[in-house]
Chains A and B, each alone.
Chain A
Amino acid sequence: MSADLTFARLRSAGAASLRTRTILPPTVALSFLVLLIVVLWSLVPGVFTSFSPVTGETAAKLAAPSAQHWFGTDYLGRDQYARVVHGTASSVTSALVAVIIGLVVGSAIGLASGFRGGWVDTTLGRFVDVLLAIPGFLLAVVIVSSLGFQTINAAIATGVSAVAVFARLMRAEVIRVRRAAFVEASYLQGGNRLQALLGHVLPNAYRPVLVLAVLQFGTSILVIASLAFLGYGDPPPASDWGLLVASGKTYPTAPWLVYAPALVIVATVLAVNRISRWLRSTR
């Protein structure tokens, strides 16, 4: 027990923490590898596949996975692997957009609410309560139906439905830090509110919020895939992962059309969640 304690202290004490941190657990390293592939797929899809995601050879339709077509081919003979790779950019960027909306808007609300307190806190708090009163996925569905069926709108909808979570956490963190002695000290040194907020409160409150952002990235991929699955994203020939699963499910004789994109979604989200958990534990 005491050995544990001293070791934990050592880890958080300067140089030693650097050394222990550079050794990644194998699952975390694997997760980073998965994410690297996903990022490369979205940036330079052409490097990973020579097949076109929109045109195929109808003669080779619904072919099972082979050395040539890793994920098989769909009902138009299009290479499913190429469709997945080319759909990555849209699937991943929209999740990123969603997280950024949630992070920026939610953090701003939480920051203002926790730092100012009083009527600002009450008003913003009620607004957050209202966002939380509508089940998240339902809220996203309503917003996307109102904005129109496009992937970018699905991303906005997912982002808005995540605002409340970020606002809650940021507010709690700011309230935790706000009363700390070093914040008081910055006022005593003649600092104004803005300096205290940006120089002392924010730097000490943002970490858990960033960890949440990573976790929320995984969740957003799932929500956006679900919206795309329901047909609320860009219509075909776009090949968002959720849409690929939806169009694949009409061909029960070609289950790879469902399983390949599904596996990609699961692997990506698992990787993101693993990294998020690792970030939380090495705080």
Chain B
Amino acid sequence: MTNTYGRFALVRTGQAVVVVLLAYILTFLVISVLPGDAITNSLRDPQHGLSEADIQRIVAYYGLDQPVLVQLVLSLGRFLTGQLGFSLQSNLPVAQLVGDALPSTLTLAFTAFVIALVFAVAIAYGAHYAPGRWAGVLRSIPSFFLSVPNFVIGLVLIELFAFRLHSFTTTDPNSAAATLFAAITLAIPVSAPLAEVLLASLDHESRQDYAQVARSRGLTEAALFARHLVKPSALPSVAMIALIVGELLGGSVITETIFGRDGIGTVVQKAVTGEDQPVLQAVVAISAVVFVAVNLAADLLTPLLDPRVKINETVDA
């Protein structure tokens, strides 16, 4: 068993590394091949105020006077040794830009994750146990959550809680209250698919024979839920963690813009509008690493958490 698991873990980790490298290459090609010579164009923009020597230095650093493949190798080599390059806009190291923005995004994402979890569990539990009409209402909530754009949720929350009720001010986006509402904005679309999966597996598990046996032993529904249903119902949602992290990373661009927070999302937005390719490349690469690593962790954990999962199947899939 352990031997099979070891091989499985090794193969999966290897695959993950390959995927990250390929994702880096794909991003590089998309960013640098399609628009032609955007870096040099933006460097020559007089607004930058760069001297000819500065431009030459940057051109040499990124190998811009050489074929794309050489640029790619240069860039990939730097990425592998942990060098993320420099911003074309501010000349700051990308690592510093990302490092400064990371705590804000992590706080937001983690708070949003907790809120999404609470929402999802509440919706799933409510929809499963609520009587009649209420169950129908609760069951339609995830679909409603998925139909409302992130930015609309954010604007409504700001209008309602900042402008009308004065629960927080938009001028202090890092206050606890403002963070909470930004996190709710981010959490709502994340909670919907999670609630759907939780509800589906809760429905499924409660129909199983073991649940009937437990009921016949005289367990109340609440005790049955707490003792027997929580664990198996939560398992399928572990596989969703990657989806959730992706939503959190992508959604932070919009949420941070609306709430005026200085996080990774804002860095992305500035890089896009300023055609700051090294920053964009680095942020996407970091996101891919995080995303793939979380996915890998979920894959590696599933067979350990659920003995029913056969490793061979997961390798094939």
User: A interface vs B, CB < 8 Å?
Assistant: 126, 129-131, 133-139, 141-143, 145-148, 218, 222, 225-226, 229-232, 242, 245-246, 249, 252, 255, 258, 262, 265-266, 269-270, 273-274, 277
Counting from the closest, the 5 A-B pairs by CB-CB distance are: A137-B250, A135-B246, A269-B147, A133-B23, A145-B272
Given A138-B268, A226-B150; 13 other pairs, CB 8 A cutoff? A130-B22, A134-B284, A138-B253, A143-B30, A146-B30, A222-B149, A225-B151, A230-B257, A242-B151, A258-B152, A258-B159, A262-B155, A270-B144
User: B interface vs A, CB < 8 Å?
Assistant: 15, 18-20, 22-23, 26-27, 30-31, 34-35, 143-144, 146-152, 155-156, 159, 163, 245-247, 249-251, 253-254, 257, 268-269, 272-273, 275, 280, 283-284, 287-288, 291-292
27 A–B contact pairs at CB < 8 A?
A: A129-B15, A130-B19, A130-B22, A133-B20, A133-B23, A134-B23, A134-B288, A135-B245, A135-B246, A137-B251, A138-B283, A141-B268, A142-B31, A145-B280, A146-B30, A147-B34, A222-B149, A226-B150, A229-B254, A230-B269, A246-B151, A255-B159, A258-B155, A262-B149, A262-B155, A266-B147, A270-B147
Evaluate contact between A245 and B275: CB separation under 8 angstroms.
Answer: no
* Min CB gap B138→A, angstroms: 16
Interface of A is mostly: helix
Evaluate contact between A148 and B147: CB separation under 8 angstroms.
Answer: no
By a CB distance below 8 angstroms, the chain B residues around A246 are 151
Tell which of A130, A134, A143, A226 touches B151, judged by Cβ atoms closer than 8 Å: A226
* Min CB gap B54→A, angstroms: 24
Tell which of B152, B250, B254 touches A265, judged by Cβ atoms closer than 8 Å: B152
Contact A270/B292 with A225-B149, A262-B149 known, Cβ cut-off 8 Å: no
Among A131, A143, A145, A242, which residue has the most Cβ atoms of chain B within 10 A? A145
Evaluate contact between A135 and B249: CB separation under 8 angstroms.
Answer: yes
The chain B residue with its CB closest to the CB of A148 is B35
By a CB distance below 8 angstroms, the chain B residues around A269 are 146-148
